[in-house]
Chains A and B, each alone.
Chain A
């Protein structure tokens, strides 16, 4: 049916048959526990959409971390386990080995994956477990009050580096994603963001590929999402995304790092 544009009332548009987008039906009705504007929610919805589109809801088991996303199992309607801090890749290893045909993924923050869980991350990636890792890097321990993490940028203010991270005493920020891309057990490694519509679309393609790769059994697929922690950074959501673009992306550049087992360059 075609109607003249000027005579069109909003009420004529908002009808069931004209619906083109709503949040994934795999997102539960629970209100997200995240702060306003936090990228965790955006990534949850992308994961839910990918699982729905691949039709693998009953074949997917996720491992939730410790961090703000500790309650992820309340929000995406699939099977979940919740691992001790940093241990998600080890738990996912066990799951995948006893159920090799299930889709197994971890969902982890940077404190979880790159601080307390560094060992589990590196060894799962080096062993080449056939799992997917979704890594939300907001450069900070969001949940516990914005403490410095290994991923915190040089000069970045956090509650435990109130004058900015001084690398001479506090060490250098770590690009764990580039690090694991060097290991033979990683098959697909990419870094994305979700602050803009175009980035959301790219992240969705990356997460879809990372899930599809599991059927190949060629090792770890890791998708890092550089995200905001507007509460920890003490900025409004809009300002935090701008700050992220201006400060995070130069150190954590977006794009593919390793595709089909080959380093990109």
Chain B
């Protein structure tokens, strides 16, 4: 069965740590990094990358447009 795998890239220095992407992710892929960026914001990262389907939900709710999404079809 064909399945989708996804991955995101966060532009770390432009992330403002609002956590809206975390709320938007249906498969709980994202967490906030304990470290902070140059502006002092915690930034989002993939804690559980295997669960990312590349649905783009996190990216379209990110007010700062800092998330890019990649997706491939894979065999289950």
Contacts and interface: CB of A to CB of B under 8 A. Distances in A.
Interface string B1-32: 01101110100001011111001100000000
B75 A21 contact: no
A241 B20 contact: yes
Given A27-B65, A39-B63, A41-B63, A20 B71 contact: yes
Contacts of A1: 72
A13 to B, nearest CB: 4
Interface in A4-57: 4-5, 8, 10, 12-15, 18-24, 27, 31-32, 34-42, 45
A10 B75 contact: no
Given A19-B69, A20-B70, A237 B7 contact: no
Interface stretch (A81-89, A120-128, A190-198, A248-256): A190-198
Contact of A21 (B17, B24, B60, B72): B60
A179 interface: no
Nearest to B54: A20
Given A13-B70, A237-B19, A196 B61 contact: yes
The 7 closest A-B pairs by CB, nearest first: A23-B65, A37-B18, A41-B63, A36-B16, A197-B57, A36-B18, A13-B7
Counting chain A CB atoms within 10 Å of each CB, the highest count among B60, B69, B74 belongs to B60
A3 B73 CA distance: 8
Assign chain B's interface to a size class. 35 or more
Nearest to B56: A21
9 contacts: A3-B75, A13-B7, A14-B9, A14-B70, A15-B70, A19-B69, A195-B20, A237-B19, A238-B19
Given A2-B2, A4-B75, A238-B19, A22 B63 contact: no
A237 B70 contact: no
B44 to A, nearest CB: 12
Contacts of B5: 5, 8, 13
Contact of B75 (A2, A18, A194, A196): A2
Contact of A18 (B57, B61, B71): B71
Contacts of A205: none
A217 interface: no
A27 B7 CA distance: 22
A5 B47 CA distance: 18
Nearest to B7: A13
